[in-house]
Amino acid sequence: MKNVYLKLSLVSLLVIISWSCETDFENPNQATDEQTYSSREGIFAASIGMQQLYSTSVLRWNIETPAITTREAGITTTFQNMIELEDGGNSLPNFNANISGLWSTNLRIMKISEELQTNIPSLDLAPGTQSGLLAFSKLFKAMAIGNLAQNYEQVIVETDQNSNANFVSRAEGYEFAIDQLTEALSLLNANPVSDEFTSEITAGNIDLSNSIQAMIARYSLFSGDYETAISAANNVDQSSISLFRYDAINLNPIWSRVYLNNTPNFKPRDNFGLPEEFVFDEQDGRIDFYLIPLDETNQNGLPIEDLAGFFDENTESIPLYIPDEMNLIIAEANLRKDSPDIDAAINALDRVRTDSDDPLGINANLAPYSGSNEISEILMEIYKNRRAELFLTGLSLEDSRRFNRPEPSLSVGNYDEERNRNFYPYPERERNSNPNTPTDPQI
């Protein structure tokens, strides 16, 4: 364990090295990228650092930002960036800290992954260690691109040292992410991960193959490839879990935003942030799993609760994905594909509703679905269950658009809206440095 902490300390330096800004000055005592990625130790440290950066920084922005936009959470602070997010509308500035953090941290992950993929093949590593490292880096790059595609109309899929990266449509972003994941899976099929990779990089906390299949299923659903989404979701072993673990140095980032020093920046909304038309059974176990009753409203009159789930202890683990997301993907994809299979969709939905032995403890423990067999009605039931099952996982903005929930207006501070933006503006720093940055979306 001491060795792991030593690597994590080293990684903080490596992350900074891999993403220097134009105002940095040359430091003759600082390791270069070439030195960092030219040895086994450097590659291992950078891989661990990529995971650390994702778990402590990316997750913070990726969960918090769309949560405020889609009313999963209500702000409880006077910080301007949070006020701007909850106000939404067409005046959300591109210098907003959440917009910048969401963009920049995912680009950092992409940059580290690209360096790893370039340099790993040149090292003398055991086949299963090399395949594991390459697949690991591809997984994280795919997740970073997927995060951007969920929140921005156009995205970057290859970083550029000269701040001249090209943008592609978010649909192309998902396709690129799926390609990365497919390549990662092929690597693992050819050379399963070694014990060295598992012990040194993931410490057994991340099931690499299942995580890759889960992301293929997620992004295939988002891109409209429903048969692939169903196939990949079925390939995930739902008894297996993958976790980001935390310690006294690297704290759970959402706990830090909600509980640290008893100064919360936001709290979860009643009813998982959905309007009253979505009625949850009082016996739904996910209510008690995620929410602690609190008869209060925030400064904008939005009813809020206290937060439980994976976020109420400072070192509590956060899952890389929720196993029952796979059943919800299967259910939705079976309804949206060219020849809908209503029975298959309801069966998959019922596996979520009746779950009583979830490996993460998210047990709805409800009766099977008994509503209408109209596809539109079943889709709304799936949406409701996604909101409860996948609460605060960063998927709510993509879901709200995909299920055609009411469009936001251009007005600022309309707190009755289910979501107050469709996509975010591009960060000011990207616009000022990259001439390829697209026009900001109006809403």
Three-state secondary structure readout of 208-244 = HHHHHHHHHHHHHHHHCCHHHHHHHHHCCCCCCCCEE
For 1-21+32-204, the fitting CATH number among 3.30.70.260, 3.30.420.80, 3.90.550.50, 1.25.40.390 is 1.25.40.390
Q: What are phi and psi of 5, to 5 degrees?
A: -65, -35
CA distance 24 to 405: 45
Question: Using one digit for the tens of pLDDT, what is the confidence trace for 239-257?
Answer: 999 999 999 999 999 999 9
The Cα 332–Cα 186 span in angstroms is: 27
Model confidence band, residue 66 (pLDDT cutoffs 50, 70, 90): very high
CA distance 156 to 172: 10
Phi, psi (5° rounding) for residue 208?
-65, -50
Q: Which of 73, 53, 63, 98 is nearest to 264 (CA)?
A: 73
Q: Which two tokens stand for residue 198?
A: 């598992």
Q: What is the pLDDT of residues 265-297, one digit of tens each?
A: 999 999 999 999 999 999 999 999 999 999 999
Mean pLDDT of the region 410-424: 97
Q: Name the percent of the chain lying above pLDDT 70.
A: 92
Give residue-wise pLDDT tens across range 329-342: 999 999 999 999 99
How are beta strands 318-319 and 303-307 bridged, if at all?
A: unpaired
% of the chain beyond a pLDDT of 90 = 92
- Asked if the model's pLDDT at residue 343 lies above 90, the reply is yes
| Residue 280: both structure tokens together | 């949850």
Q: Environment class of residue 166 by beta-carbon count within 10 Å: exposed (0-12), middle (13-18) or buried (19+)?
A: exposed
The pLDDT confidence band at residue 17, using thresholds 50, 70 and 90, is very low
What is the pTM assigned to this prediction?
0.94
DSSP secondary structure, 370-398, as one string? -S---HHHHHHHHHHHHHHHTTTSS-HHH
| Residues 350 and 368 sit within 8 Å (Cβ to Cβ) | yes
Going by pLDDT thresholds of 50, 70 and 90, the confidence category of residue 36 is: confident
Q: What is the pLDDT of residues 73-90, one digit of tens each?
A: 999 999 999 999 999 999
CB-CB contact of 57 with 49 (8 Å) = no
* 290, 291, 292, 296 alpha-carbon torsion, rounded to 10°: 150
Name the pLDDT band for 210 (thresholds 50, 70, 90). very high
Please give the average per-residue pLDDT across 102-131, as a whole number.
98
pLDDT at 248: 96
Domain ranges of the chain: 1-21+32-204, 242-253+267-405
Helix (H) or strand (E) holding 434, with range, is none
| pLDDT tens figures, 150-192 | 999 999 999 999 999 999 999 999 999 999 999 999 999 999 9
Distance CA 222, CA 83 (A): 29
| 264 half-sphere exposure, CB direction, 13 A CA radius | 20
Tell me if domain 1-21+32-204 and domain 242-253+267-405 are identical in fold: yes
Ranges of H-type helices in 259-324: 285-290
CATH code assigned to 242-253+267-405: 1.25.40.900
Computed over every residue of the chain, the mean pLDDT equals 93
Name the β-bridge partners of 155: 168
Say whether pLDDT at 6 is over 80.
no
User: 103: closest CA among 437, 443, 427?
Assistant: 427
Q: Are 106 and 147 in contact (CB under 8 A)?
A: yes
